[in-house]
Amino acid sequence: MKTVLLVLIIIGAGIISTEVFNSYQRRSWDGLSRFTAVKTGRNGEDISVLSVDPETGSGVTVVLPGEMEIPTVNGKGVWKISALSKLGLKYGSKWVADSVADFLGVPYTLVWEEIGFWDRLAWWNVSRGVEFKNISLTDTSWIEENKDPDGEKVLGLSSIGQKKIGEMFFSSRLAKENLNISVYNTTGIGGMGTRFSRVVENAGFKVVNVAASQENIENCEVRSNTNMKQNTGVRWLVRYFECVWSTDSDLGDRDVNIRIGKEYAGWRLGD
């Protein structure tokens, strides 16, 4: 009987260890770059973005006003922030977070309401002692007031606001890699390269070129020379944008080319 019990304990310990290992492998934060979480309002809170830069020990929380109107991803239309939480019940919290992050032009790490054990532990560790700068966009000069076709007031983000947001969500660690990024839009849809580049720049990279390309790329491809494959910035780009990596021996150290394709356009527009 004791032998059977011992075997069961060993098996149980093995199962737990495997699950702990697997959950660690599934964690969202890389432990180096800026840690940014989107609160989607699912628990009745305001929709906001929380972010910490571990390099500088600085933190910021940006609260979006309910009257702000944003174009959402996956072709789901333009909606006020106040409506996104309820729509998230239908389309998912990730859709809400993707839409908010895409509108602001910033990369994000995870959905706050779906944070796992290891990421929660990492957030506690990286944010403890950080004095967050709390910004309600309603109280800034970064928003502009418009009216919808029915004459109802709606708020948008001004060009100054876009610049300020980008500066707040800059990752010092990624900036240190000093990469020169060229973005090639293979989707055939105007503006996709510029929209993509905005997120890349706000992450902390330097975009030196944006151009159209006739190549047939399905999703996203990051190209660098072999020496740069394990570079922190290259790995971040591959992981965040779910790209494939390929080698290009003609590229020098610090030079990285990104090609975006049909899947990216489909995610953005819902095609």
Question: What is the torsion angle, in degrees rounded to the nearest 10, for the CA atoms of residue 23, residue 246, residue 170 and residue 68?
Answer: -80
Which single residue is written with the structure tokens 């967050």? 132
Quick one: 261 exposed, middle or buried, by C-beta within 10 A (0-12, 13-18, 19+)? buried
Going by C-alpha positions, the residue among 199, 240, 34 that lies closest to residue 122 is 34
pLDDT in tens, 163-199: 999 899 999 999 999 999 999 999 999 899 999 999 9
Q: Cα(102)–Cα(104) distance, rounded to whole angstroms?
A: 5
pTM of the entire structure? 0.86
The residue-averaged pLDDT of 73-90 equals: 93
Please determine, for residue 99, whether its predicted confidence score (pLDDT) is greater than 70. Answer: yes
Predicted pLDDT of residue 8: 47
Q: Per residue in 144-162, pLDDT tens?
A: 877 655 556 567 888 899 8
Tell me the DSSP string of 220-235. EEEEE-GGGTT-HHHH
Q: All domains of the chain, ordered by start, with CATH?
A: 35-168 (3.30.420.590), 177-269 (3.30.70.2390)
